[in-house]
Chains A and B, each alone.
Chain A
Amino acid sequence: MTSTLERLSPWLFTIGLFVAWELVCRLAKVDPFIMPAPSQVFLAVGQYWRPLLRHSGVTLWTTMAGFALAVAFGVALGLVVGWSRAIYRGIYPVMIGFNSIPKVAVVPILVVWFGIGEIPAILTAFLISFFPIVVNVATGLATMEPELEDVLRALGARKMDIMLKVGIPRAQPYLFGSLKVAITLAFVGAVVSETIAANAGLGFLMVQAGSNFQMPLVFAGLLGLAVEGIAMYAVFAAIERRMTRWAFRSSMSAGT
């Protein structure tokens, strides 16, 4: 009984949210220009599904491209940073500083360098999402049990052996955990860049619709963003579960 309810509850909650939104709009007679009701938003989705789909596709592609760069670069840098304490200490302040810069501020620079279009979106997605990957991979490596390292070093293991046999497998749950955070960040980065400087993508669509006073279409764009965000998160959460089943299981029996 509980399990059925638990399975259904996310759907029930989402539907409930839309119903509440609809009711507020109707009962308070909110001007659809200020806040369109869900029914109007869904109507706009039906009306403009072609452009919505096309622009969603562009956003999806720029997000995934930026994310792929972030994974490649983030894992590599994470391995380097986690390799030794000296590198870790040296590079960390720079990374914190870099991460503190709001990426909106970087978009104009990227536009100057690469022009308006997909490349600034891809790079913004990359810049905003690589940090959690680096930190997680480095943490996974740095929190290795010292006893285990002693066991292997006493056998004559080189640093590389310890990394391959222990460090990298150990960092995997951290890596896959960070991916689902990174993908949503990459998405945010891509959309931010699109709203500022692009000629395609959901962010661009929403800015255009807004300047044409088509509020239902703006909200349809938001809806599209939310759906895409949830879908990407779900994909990477599923990958995480598949790849690092041992981490979920072993933490469940950590009492022994």
Chain B
Amino acid sequence: MSAFVELDKVSLAYRGASGEVLALRDTSLKVAKGEFAAVVGPSGCGKSTLMKLVTGLVAPTAGTVGVAGARVTGPVKLAGMAFQNPSLLPWRSVIDNVLLPLEIVEPHRGRFRAERKRYAAAAGALLGTVGLDGFGHRFPWELSGGMQQRVSLCRALIHEPALLMLDEPFAALDAFTREELWCVLRDLWQKIGFTVILVTHDLREAAFLADTIHVMSARPGRIVATRRVDLARPRDLSVCFEPAFVDIVHDLRGRIAEVRQG
């Protein structure tokens, strides 16, 4: 069986201020179609580099990256991305922010003008599913941080990407808002069924959301352990207090402590 996202012995070096920096070394990773994968690791381990490799924004120095059965040589065009910073455009209303990818990506780009109404309705519906019904005509700066991050998620999903790449999307939020958004993401994923790669340093977040958790070592980063999460779905927030869940988090914490030392 071939994986939807596959990194095969990927290394990436780039020229930093103090000479050559090896960000990733011999990293191999497989994510199946529709799988929710999380990547955890100590800070500065090249998790964000991983995101750029998979989306084709940077090319590996060695090894191959494949997405949807094809080798990645340039931007993959079927990915949605969201980051810790919602990075919405302050001059656009919420709905126009969500619609932005459709103005760029084919085939929507060509028919955007003609079918704007239909697209706006779809964006409105998507905003509804993340609990932002009726906020379409507000501006980003009128929303709280958590709401902005919901908009950012909608923007990443509006063009129905097969792959969603998340780089610590909830790291800047307070604990309650963060858990709320875990559920938002869980529901979206269960409803739409895209493939997710979530980069995070929050082990509970990884354990709650993911099917598979990959642990990365300190720089130069590589995957040192992969662990499946077999908690039943749909998961409720109360799962976080079950012994099985706590065991997983403990186990991950131990592994990360190991790679931090070593």
Contact = CB atoms under 8 A, between A and B. Distances in A.
A157 B79 CA distance: 12
Contact of A150 (B81, B139, B141): B81
Report the contact-size class of chain B (Cβ under 8 Å from the partner): 20 to 34
Contacts of B104: 152, 155-157, 161, 165
B52 interface: yes
A161 to B, nearest CB: 6
Interface string B231-256: 00000000000000000000000000
A244 B106 CA distance: 31
Contact of B91 (A155, A156, A246, A256): A246
B77 A154 contact: yes
Nearest to A249: B141
Contact of A256 (B77, B81, B83, B141): B141
A150 B57 contact: yes
Given A246-B139, A249-B139, A250-B139, A154 B75 contact: yes
Contacts of A166: 89
Contacts of A86: none
A6 interface: no
A247 B90 contact: yes
Report the contact-size class of chain A (Cβ under 8 Å from the partner): 20 to 34
B101 A155 contact: yes
A253 B90 CA distance: 11
A28 interface: no
Q: Which of A153, A169, A172 has the most CB of B within 10 A?
A: A153
B148 interface: yes
Nearest to A161: B104
A156 B87 contact: no
A31 interface: no
A148 interface: yes
B56 interface: yes
Nearest to B161: A155
Given A147-B87, A253-B142, A155 B159 contact: yes
A154 B76 contact: yes
A161 B90 CA distance: 18
A246 B90 contact: yes
B55 interface: yes
A94 interface: no
Contacts of A254: 141
A151 interface: yes
B32 interface: no
B55 A150 contact: yes
B76 to A, nearest CB: 7
Contacts of B148: 256
Contacts of B155: 151
Nearest to B143: A256
A91 B100 CA distance: 33
B100 A165 contact: yes
A187 B142 CA distance: 39
A145 B87 contact: yes
A85 B210 CA distance: 40
B144 interface: yes
Interface string B31-68: 00000000000000000000010011100000000000
Interface of B: 52, 55-57, 75-77, 79, 81-83, 85, 87, 89-91, 100-101, 103-106, 139-145, 148, 155-156, 159, 165
16 contacts: A147-B83, A150-B83, A151-B87, A151-B155, A152-B100, A153-B57, A154-B55, A155-B104, A156-B105, A165-B103, A166-B89, A249-B141, A250-B139, A253-B141, A256-B143, A256-B145
